[in-house]
Amino acid sequence: MPRIDVTGGYSRYRYPAPLTPIVISRLPLFATDIPDFEKNVYDGFATFSVPLFKGGRLVRGVTIAGLKKSMAQDFYTRNLHELVYNVTAVYYKLAQLHELLGACEAQVKGLEAHRRDVESFLKAGTAPKLDLFKADTELAAAIERRIQTQNSIVNTRELLRSLIGMDEPGEFTIALENKPTIRGETAKAYLERALAGRPDYKAALSKVKMLEERVAAARGKRLPDIYGAGDYGGKAGDSFAFKENWSLGVRLVLPVFDFGRIGAEIDRERLELMNAKEEERALRLTIARELQEAQTAIMNADERIIVSEKAVTSAREQVRIEDLRYRSGDNTSTDVINAEAALIRSRSDHYQARFDRHVAVAFLKKAVGDMDIPSDTPKDSDTSRTPVTGKSMVPTKSTTEETK
């Protein structure tokens, strides 16, 4: 782009200096042909310059600026993906804790009912007092487990509130949905989608292209610089009677010797380019590993969900049978307590497996770069945004399973 500057100054000469150049166009000379001479010279000029050729550095500079902008946008999108993933994981953790709290409350109710049965049998003289001690111990442990779960819910809720930037008090509607569906694709298809959609990988590619342009721009410094220049202004002496003058021209600057500075700059840019290519390769391998880990975690969670569902069904039936047997006098209090412990353990494993699958699906979506980012522009008709007061809705199925 052209550049325009305004300059001014004052100079003191030993001998009187001409305010304008001496021009001899005819002989003899007249007094009007001789310029004014002054020892004190004041000058003021407006100068401009416009580059005509700089070895391609101007065009490459524009390209580099565009790549930097693209990298900044990709890094911003990557941070959004990380935030959405974290919000999704914390949300499903909170949902898991709510389900676990329900299981703890059911265990407490079951143990309370069992304690009442033991107390009745103790009064009737058909049960030892040791059974009552066992029932009290297990009931206290169940109540403590429920309290710990409630505390974890409070802490997780505050973490979720902090992640979504919710300042106003409000309640969350939490639910642990069924298994989220995903598209069944081959590992190669997932990798192709990830390399095309991951913002951090696109930023790595942009960095490689930017450094390639910087290497070419550094090489262009060995080529001549050509630019047009001109100025308009005047000089005056003590009388401040300015004599105007102007000039126009084209200039060329050719680097001949610079103590190796250009070569050193080229070598530095080459090394940075090599480092960027290695970073891009390492990121590509990391993406492939993350995709494999996510797919393995999903398959593992599916198997655990199937096994834990059967375990929960069996444990629930075992609790019912052991309770009936205890009332009929065919077993001991320990059998009922063990059945209750097995039930809470199987339900906890089942909720953990469902949580792990939700998080694995979210991790797969993040690894592919297929996260759903909410719009930054609020709409007047948008009713899905968090209200200022009242109950707050945070990630529903469409905004959590997909955002993961």
- pLDDT per position as a tens digit, 60-109: 888 999 999 999 999 999 999 999 999 999 999 999 999 999 999 999 99
**pLDDT (average), residues 125-148:** 90
pLDDT level of residue 30 (50, 70, 90 thresholds): low
pLDDT at 215: 93
User: Which position has the token pair 């979210």?
Assistant: 362
Domain ranges of the chain: 3-55+225-270, 59-211+272-400
Summarize pLDDT for 333-389 with one digit per residue, the tens: 889 999 999 999 999 999 999 999 999 999 999 999 887 665 553 444 343 333 333
Phi-psi region of 165 (alpha: psi -120 to 50; beta: other; left: phi over 0): left
**pLDDT (average), residues 108-121:** 90
pLDDT at 402: 36
**Measured between alpha carbons, how far is 90 from 394 in angstroms, rounded to an integer?**
11
Helices (H), 125-186: 129-163
**Does the pLDDT of residue 182 top 60, yes or no?**
yes
DSSP tag of 165? T
Q: Which of 28-42, 54-68, 263-277, 317-331 has the lowest mean pLDDT?
A: 28-42
Between strands 3-18 and 37-53, the pairing is: antiparallel
> Pick the residue with more confidence: 138 or 258?
138
Query: What does the buried/exposed string (b/e) look like for 100-114 if buried means 16 or more CB atoms within 10 Å of the residue's CB?
Result: bbebbebbbebbeeb
Q: How many residues does the chain have?
A: 404
pLDDT at 178: 65
Q: Mean pLDDT for the chain?
A: 84
pLDDT level of residue 391 (50, 70, 90 thresholds): very low
The DSSP H or E segment spanning 310 is: helix 261-328
Cα→Cα distances 311→280, 294, 346, 350, 351, Å: 46, 25, 6, 9, 12
pLDDT at 64: 92
pLDDT at 350: 93
With a CB cutoff of 8 Å and minimum separation 6, the contacts of 391 are 170, 171, 172, 173
pLDDT at 320: 93
Helices (H), 180-260: 187-197, 199-220
Q: Is 384 helix (H, G, I), strand (E, B) or coil?
A: coil
> Pick the residue with more confidence: 1 or 228?
228
CATH 2.20.200.10 at 3-55+225-270, yes or no: yes
Between strands 37-53 and 243-253, the pairing is: unpaired
- What is the fold of 59-211+272-400? Outer membrane efflux proteins (OEP) (1.20.1600)
pLDDT level of residue 55 (50, 70, 90 thresholds): confident
Is 34 within 8 Å of 249 (Cβ atoms)?
A: no
pLDDT at 29: 61
Summarize pLDDT for 230-284 with one digit per residue, the tens: 999 888 888 888 888 888 999 888 888 888 888 998 999 999 999 999 999 999 9
Query: What does the buried/exposed string (b/e) look like for 131-150 if buried means 16 or more CB atoms within 10 Å of the residue's CB?
Result: bbebbeebbeebbebbeebe
> Pick the residue with more confidence: 168 or 352?
352
pLDDT at 147: 95
**Does the pLDDT of residue 42 top 50, yes or no?**
yes
Q: Which of 45-54, 139-148, 387-396 has the lowest mean pLDDT?
A: 387-396
The DSSP H or E segment spanning 247 is: strand 243-253
DSSP tag of 55? T
Q: Which of 102-106, 184-188, 289-293, 352-356 has the lowest mean pLDDT?
A: 184-188
**Measured between alpha carbons, how far is 49 from 307 in angstroms, rounded to an integer?**
78
For 6, phi then psi, to 5°, come to -120, 125
pLDDT level of residue 390 (50, 70, 90 thresholds): very low
pLDDT at 380: 40
**pLDDT (average), residues 184-189:** 78
For 9, phi then psi, to 5°, come to -175, 180
